[in-house]
Amino acid sequence: MRTEPLRGASPLLVPGDPYSVVVLLQGYAEPEGVGDAVRADGSVTLVLPQTRGPASSHRKSPRGSGGAEAALEEAARGPILVDTGGPWAREALLRALAGQGVAPGDVKLVVGTHGHSDHIGNLGLFPGAALLVSHDFCLPGGRYLPHGLGEGQPLRLGPGLEVWATPGHGGQRDVSVVVAGTALGTVVVAGDVFERDGDEDSWQALSEDPAAQERSRKRVLVVADVVVPGHGPPFRVLREAAQTETEGGGNSQQEPVVGDEEPAPH
């Protein structure tokens, strides 16, 4: 297995069905000044349904979860934002959303991978969205619902779209968003499970639980074809079988769309 950066500047679109992934803002972490000061912000990613689900899809009886399953499925029918960057990135975030034809009021679900300020600093822009921040899920107005994510089971939002518990960096309640079925395979929006491509010698110093994070990293790498890290460009995960297939022409034409081009209507 090896990794390599995914070419393209923000916004970077990976089309898919039933969900496309748009990396709106690439995170960064850069030393600044004297001492250990760092200027940083987290990656911001938009997950767009290819089409909206039928209006009746949220009327199924929830399975004993106080309505959380049905509420999450309903929220997943609209644009989903994964992390919001820091409050200093407010205007950049609004511009990036507008570039995709999405207003803050269009966003139905915001997932915060963990509770650090550079990842959830703009939650206030989305008062009408459901919020899944770490393991806390609430509906607009502050109605919190249990959902079972802390039991270690993936939380299914839609076909090929799940939230996984990936503890370690910020403690035991970090999450990642897993999107299957894109043109590049499975995309994992991993928060700070991965700081950036090639962070093997540095992530441990930033982790609250390195042993748990190591397990989370291995779990992500088993399934991911593309990882969106917290503080760097997306990168591809290339395995031996995939390399052979690419050499034979199997996936060599699957490149993301980069720039202002929009995915299919959502």
Q: Using pLDDT thresholds of 50, 70 and 90, give the confidence band for residue 241.
A: low
Q: Which pLDDT does position 70 carry in this prediction?
A: 87
150 vs 167 pLDDT, higher one = 167
Using CA atoms, how far residue 98 sits from 38, 81, 127, 264, in Å, is: 29, 13, 17, 16
Q: Which residues does 174 contact at the CB level (< 8 Å), separation at least 6?
A: 113, 114, 134, 165, 166, 167, 168, 191, 192, 193, 216
**pLDDT (tens digit, 9 = 90+) per residue, 122-134?**
999 999 999 999 9
Q: Are 91 and 63 in contact (CB under 8 A)?
A: no
Q: Using pLDDT thresholds of 50, 70 and 90, give the confidence band for residue 240.
A: confident
Instruction: Just give the CATH number of 2-30+40-49+68-238.
Output: 3.60.15.10
Q: Which pLDDT does position 119 carry in this prediction?
A: 97
Q: Using pLDDT thresholds of 50, 70 and 90, give the confidence band for residue 256.
A: low
Q: Which pLDDT does position 199 carry in this prediction?
A: 96
Q: Which pLDDT does position 79 carry in this prediction?
A: 97
pTM exceeding the 0.85 threshold for the entire prediction: yes
Using the predicted structure, report yes or no on whether residue 234 has a pLDDT greater than 70.
Answer: yes
Of 53-57, 106-110, 246-250, 257-261, give the lowest mean pLDDT range.
53-57
Q: What percent of the chain has pLDDT over 70?
A: 84
Interatomic CA distance for residues 195 and 192, integer angstroms: 5
Write down the mean pLDDT value for the chain: 87
Closest by Cα among 13, 50, 25, 187 to 121? 25
Q: Which residues does 60 contact at the CB level (< 8 Å), separation at least 6?
A: 70, 73
Report the residue count for the chain: 266
Q: Which pLDDT does position 219 carry in this prediction?
A: 96
Of 106-115, 132-141, 167-176, 236-245, give the lowest mean pLDDT range.
236-245
**pLDDT (tens digit, 9 = 90+) per residue, 160-215?**
999 999 999 999 999 999 999 999 999 999 999 999 999 999 999 999 999 999 99
Using the predicted structure, report yes or no on whether residue 247 has a pLDDT greater than 80.
Answer: no
